[in-house]
Structure 1
Amino acid sequence: MTSVTRMIRMDHTHVMAVFHKYEPSLSARVKKGLVDQVCLAVEVHATLEEEIFYPALREVSDNEVLRKSEPEHYEMKQLIARLRAMEGTGPELDSTFYTLMQNIIHHVADEETVLLPLAERVLVKELDDLGSRWSRRKMHLMAPRAPEMASGMARSMSGSGLLIAAGAVLLGGLLVAKRNAMEQAVTHAHRMMKRRKLMAQVQNLLPGHKTVASRVLARLP
């Protein structure tokens, strides 16, 4: 079984990897595909945390980071709604997407430095069970949105055979509810990412979170 904290870290890494691919100079099709991927991933991830992770942690702990987590989700959802409503792919999309990613990086920093280590101390016996619930619920949430995921990935493809294969495996994993296939696809996609460039982007957004960025990058193969 996979612990819930590992599942959360995998989601964080995936979103950061997709963000790394985004450039204002990309074509409208590719930019929109990347934005859609991030928006969908964040929406599903936030739902899972609100339904499974946060309630479990609240039963045994209470702290400022946990209390502000759901309001931060709300702010991200507001930005996602703005992104989804935009028709163009110009500077407004770029600035809104980078604002969303800045919020996400702040949120990830708090979770990876405070909430996840806390959970691994106080929820030791529950971590695997919570991870199983997370995985089942994620498949339930993603199944009806598989066409949306496929569309976003198709638009963002660069033509690389590896990335195309990763997208195909990911879609297949979603449709047949095989978590391992999905994880393998994400791993293939991660191998396409350049760590140095991602670090520079994160540091430009959040100069004070170099340590957290390093931890995320360390998980990329």
Structure 2
Amino acid sequence: MRTADMTSDMRTNMRSLTNSLSPSITNMIRMDHTSVLATFHQYEISSSPRTKKALVDTACMALEIHAQLEEEIFYPAMRAADTDGTVMEKSVPEHNEMRRLITKLRGMEPTDAEYDQTFMELMRDVLHHVADEETTLLPDAERLLKDRLGELGMEMTKRRMQIAAPRAGEFASNTLRGLPTSTMLMAAGAVLAGTYLFRRSNSTHH
């Protein structure tokens, strides 16, 4: 067998191994959606200001990290795969609108008259964005990027840890300010699972 053929086979085998060990990027995006929506559903108008702020801050931080990961890793991969771009055209503007509402919320207090309304507006935008991605973009990705889903998932896991690490104190502060136990355990479990899978993949590759 020629050296070039052996190298090609090794790359194919490595990619297959990565895909089998790493959560796919599309499943990671779905998990992010589920986690944020679970936080949304914990929010009640009658909750204490402390709990409201903890939930809003947690949701906003998760959305910021999620949007950055999609824009750095997922969207470029999709553009390179030559999709028609219909959903992609809306995705970044929708992220920017979410960021606008997040900035507005961070300049308010939970006792402000428009606080609940602003968070509900953010929730509606996120639900619309999630519906677009889960009905169109993610199925397209699983068709067009089927040989790269695990590789991209590992890349997203690694980048998520880099982005989230400086904000660990912010997450801890949110939990202490009244984050419900179920949400705290869900978020902590997601972080631990991501860390385990990333380390497992790295140790296997070495």
TM-score category, normalised to shorter length: 0.7 to 0.9
Residue 84 of structure 1 aligns with which residue?
106
Q: Quick one: which of 142, 163, 169 aligns to 1:147?
A: 169
Residue aligning to 1:48: 69
1:42–1:56 distance in 2 versus 1, CA, 3 Å: same
Maintained 8 Å contact 2:39/2:183: no
Residues 1:22 and 2:48 aligned together: no
AA paired with 1:57? M
| Distance in 1 (alpha carbons) for counterparts of 2:25 and 2:140 | 12
1:178 aligns with 2:195: yes
Q: What TM-score, normalized to structure 1?
A: 0.74
Partner of 2:93: 71
SS in 2 for 1:105: helix
Bigger relative contact order, structure 1 or 2 (CA pairs below 8 A, ≥6 apart): 2
Task: Spell out, residue by residue over 1:167-197, the C-alpha distance to the aligned partner (whole angstroms, 9 max, x if none).
Answer: 79459849xx7256xxxxxxxxxxxxxxxxx
Specify the SS of the correspondent of 2:164: helix
TM-score normalised by the chain length of structure 2 = 0.79
Rg larger for: 2
Q: Which residue of 2 aligns with 1:183?
A: none
Q: Among all aligned residue pairs of Structure 1 and Structure 2, give the percentage whose two residues are the same amino acid.
A: 51
Is the 8 Å Cα contact of residues 146 and 171 (structure 1) preserved in structure 2?
A: no
| Aligned residue in 2 for 1:127 | 149
Amino acid at match of 2:34: T
Name 2:117's counterpart in structure 1.
95
Is this contact kept in 2: 1:76–1:100, CA < 8 A? yes
Structure 2 residues not aligned, in runs of 5+: 1-21, 198-206
Contact persistence 1:5–1:127 (CA under 8 A): yes
Aligned partners of 1:65 and 1:115 also within 8 Å = yes
Deviations 1:103-144 (A, max 9, x none): 000000000000000000010001110000000000100000
Distance 1:169 1:42, change over 3 A: closer
**Are residues 163 and 81 of structure 1, via their aligned partners in 2, closer, same or farther at CA, if it must alter by over 3 Å?**
closer
